[in-house]
Amino acid sequence: MRYQVPVGMPVWKMTMSENTLPAAAMAQPGPVVRPTAEIGTTFAILASLSVCHMLNDLNQSLVPALYPILKTSYNLDFAQIGMITLAFQLTASMLQPVVGMVTDRRPQPFSLPVATSCSLIGLLLLSVAHSYPAILVAAALVGIGSSVFHPEASRVARMASGGRYGLAQSLFQLGGATGSAIGPLLAAFIVLPRGQGSVAWFSLLAMLAMALLTYVGTWYNRHPAMAARRGRRAPPPVATSPVPRATVIMAMAVILILLFSKNVYTASLSSYYTFFLIEKFHVTVQSAQLHLFVFLGAVAVGTFAGGPIGDRFGRKPVIWFSILGAFPFALLLPYASLMWTGVLSVIIGLILASAFSAIIVYAQELMPGRVGMVAGMMFGFSFGLGGLGAAALGRIADVTGIEFVYHVCSFLPVIGLLTAFLPNIEERKR
């Protein structure tokens, strides 16, 4: 038997005499929760999250931006540089799925400013660290802050989406990509001329992020979904996937392999692009940082484009294009001149970055009810694979040279062919 709400009638005006709901349902007290799509897109929260993501990732991008200074000051080799990336990425990656699983069961609205405070401590330690172990600890602390921030912030972005999940995720990711792009630029004009101690100045940005995230946490705590959780004695029912469990497991395995392809190649550019340009074309450190800024700016644009395009045309076509489409340009990059290296890096950044928002939303639709855990897995594996890739590529660069790294990595995007094994869950949902 189906029950319908009369058109135009507010939920709070329904009574038993109108026979619009069964008596058992009417007898149970508790808040009425409207679907996210009915609440509408809350752009103020999405903008706040995007700005905080920008500030968070800007501060995090200072770690790789410091690599030329650290390499010279502490006489580090490429393998040790890769270990710094690994220390940051592993603490970020290992904790994120755990944080997501915990907050799926028990959301923590004010965990976001706490996460930023952890990154703040890491930045301050990085500015005064005078030994290699202290640098590793500082990088790890910045990673811990990231591990708490990303899963919960991604959940809040989905809550504020109004059903436009791709757009919300892209706005959120745009902030992070913009921060990652601005970081090397600020490092080129502030940190490089003034030294390692100037990193402490960026702690002011972390404090600004803490204030904004306190506002976001207050909104999150008052959201109808949180009110429903507080009024519900039993745990909320878990939504079912549109495909069987075996298909979910297979699809998640394919997604993780695609993330491996995307993030190891991205790590080769974000961690070693400046060294590649300096060694091959003999450019200055500041010029190399500017090239890195242009590449990361292209990543920011591509990150934003992927979500709305996925909302309109589907997530799977975006994943197809974004990973496999970068393949021919990646093949050309090791053989290009300085000008064409810059052009190709922009094209690769635009295409490759459009995948991430689509992948996150696709995985969340594949595993509904596990928003935090999925976001934690996606961000966590991205950071972890990037860190492992950076460490491995650093070891290869020490043995064979930095140019050989880009010859090897140029074949990674061909792994995008595995997208053919992803189920068409959008057709099943329709």
The per-residue pLDDT for 285 is 84
Question: Residue 44 in 3-state DSSP?
Answer: helix
- Domain 39-429 fold is Growth Hormone; Chain: A; (1.20.1250)
C-alpha 96/C-alpha 102 separation (Å) is 10
Average pLDDT over residues 157-179: 86
From 425, 402, 84, select the one nearest 241 (Cα to Cα): 425
Q: What angle do CA 223, 228, 230 make, to 5 degrees?
A: 100
**Taking 80 as the threshold, does the pLDDT of residue 387 lie above it?**
no
Q: Where are the domains of the chain?
A: 39-429
Share of the chain above pLDDT 70, in %: 86
Alpha carbon separation from 105 to 225, 259, 373 (Å, rounded) = 13, 26, 10
Q: What is the 3-state secondary structure (H, E, C) of 138-202?
A: HHHHHHHHHHHHHHHHHHHHHHCCCCCHHHHHHHHHHHHHHHHHHHHHHHHHHHHHHCHHHHHHH
pLDDT at res. 394: 86
For residues 392-409, average pLDDT: 89
Q: What letter would DSSP give residue 106?
A: S
Separation between Cα atoms, residue 67 and residue 274, nearest integer Å: 10
Q: How confident is the model over 312-337, as pLDDT tens digits?
A: 888 899 999 888 899 999 999 999 99
Q: Let me know if 234 is exposed, middle or buried by CB neighbors in 10 A (0-12, 13-18, 19+).
A: exposed
Instruction: Find the mean pLDDT for residues 338-360.
Output: 91
Of 341, 289, 329, the C-alpha closest to 411 is 329
Q: How far apart are CA 49 and CA 351, in angstroms?
A: 24
Structure tokens at 307: 């979500």
DSSP 16-40: GGGT-S-HHHHHS-S-----HHHH-
DSSP-derived letter for residue 299 is H
Could you give the dihedral angle defined by the CA atoms of residues 312, 318, 319 and 321, in that order, rounded to the nearest 10 degrees? 160
pLDDT band at 10 (very low <50, low <70, confident <90, very high): very low
Burial tier of 284 (Cβ tally within 10 Å: 0-12, 13-18, 19+): exposed
Give CA–CA dist 136/34, Å, rounded. Answer: 46
Predicted local distance difference test score (pLDDT) of residue 16: 37
**The two structure tokens encoding residue 319:** 């994943």
What mean pLDDT is predicted for residues 356-381? 83
Q: Would you place residue 430 in the very low, low, confident or very high pLDDT band (cuts 50, 70, 90)? A: low
pLDDT at 193: 83
pLDDT tens digit sequence for 11-55: 333 333 333 344 444 444 444 444 444 456 788 999 999 999 999
User: Which of 339 and 191 is assigned the larger pLDDT?
Assistant: 339
Tens-place pLDDT, residues 86-119: 888 778 777 788 888 888 888 877 888 988 899 8
Question: How far, in Å, are 258, 339, 358, 374, 412 from residue 317 at the CA level?
Answer: 14, 31, 9, 20, 19
Instruction: Please name the residues in contact with 412: beta carbons below 8 A apart, sequence gap of 6 or more.
Output: 261, 264, 265, 330
What is the chain's mean pLDDT, rounded? Answer: 81
Alpha-carbon 235 to chain mean position: 28
**Nearest one of 101, 369, 48 to 225, comparing CA atoms:** 369
Cα(355)–Cα(261) distance, integer angstroms: 11
Q: Which of 188-202, 235-249, 296-310, 402-416 has the highest mean pLDDT?
A: 402-416
- pLDDT tens-digit map of 253-291: 999 899 888 888 988 888 889 899 999 999 998 888 889
- Nearest alpha-carbon partner for 53 in 175, 206, 219: 175
> Residue 422: helix, strand or coil by DSSP?
coil
Pick the residue with more confidence: 388 or 424? Answer: 424
**Dihedral over alpha carbons 310, 263, 100, 207 (to 10 degrees):** -100
